[in-house]
Structure 1
Amino acid sequence: MSIVGFIVWLVVGGIIGWIASKIMRTDAQQGALMNIVVGIVGAFIGGWLGGMLIGDAGDINQGDFSLSSLLFSLLGAVILLAIVNMFRRGRVR
């Protein structure tokens, strides 16, 4: 992976994590670094789910920036935040 690819990966991960935190209403509790982590881990979860549900959905971790890969990454990030909220508060918002 090149330096530019790595930077794009971080920026897209941060944007996906930020959108997921807005959806789950956890944005005030997270900073930019946490949004990046949520977005990247969410991309792994989303890529895994997409692979199970529709075959090769692609994920942003492999450099595939299609609409379906971005949506599955967002779904994975939302699922990750829901799981974190369950352990933190005992319920999903």
Structure 2
Amino acid sequence: MGLLYALLIGAAAGWLAGKIMKGGGFGALINIILGIVGGIVGNWLFGVLGVHIGSGIVGDLITGVIGAVVVLFIAGLFKK
């Protein structure tokens, strides 16, 4: 059940990050996949920095969106 939860939160985070990072040009499906990866990156990044956003769905979604924005930004640098 934890994997399904992580995939759903990551997909929502990727979609939201795609809306935030307008002009990313990756398309909805790639943004969702990058959002799932971004959720992992966000959890790692906040763990390293010692930042705790909150618990529950909202905290996980915010962490995932921030991680997905970072991943989309980095992916955009390699796209050019």
Normalised-by-shorter TM-score class: 0.7 to 0.9
Size of the alignment, in residue pairs? 79
Structure 2 matches for 1:1-93, cutoff 5 A? 2=1, 5-26=2-23, 29-32=26-29, 34-54=30-50, 57=52, 65-89=56-80
Per the alignment, do residues 17 and 49 of structure 1 end up closer, same or farther by CA in structure 2, a change over 3 Å counting?
same
Classify the secondary structure of the residue corresponding to 2:9.
helix
AA at the equivalent of 1:53: L
CA RMSD across the alignment: 2.4
Gaps of 5+ in 1: 59-63
Q: So what's the TM-score if we normalise by structure 1?
A: 0.66
Deviation at 1:27, TM superposition (A): 6.3
Classify the secondary structure of the residue corresponding to 1:29.
coil
The percentage of counterpart residues that share the same residue type is 34
Deviation at 1:68, TM superposition (A): 2.8
Structure 1: which 4+ aligned runs deviate by more than 6 Å? none
Larger radius of gyration: 1
Q: Which has the higher contact order (CA 8 A, sep 6+)?
A: 2
CA distance in 2, matches of 1:69, 1:9: 9
Gaps of 5+ in 2: none
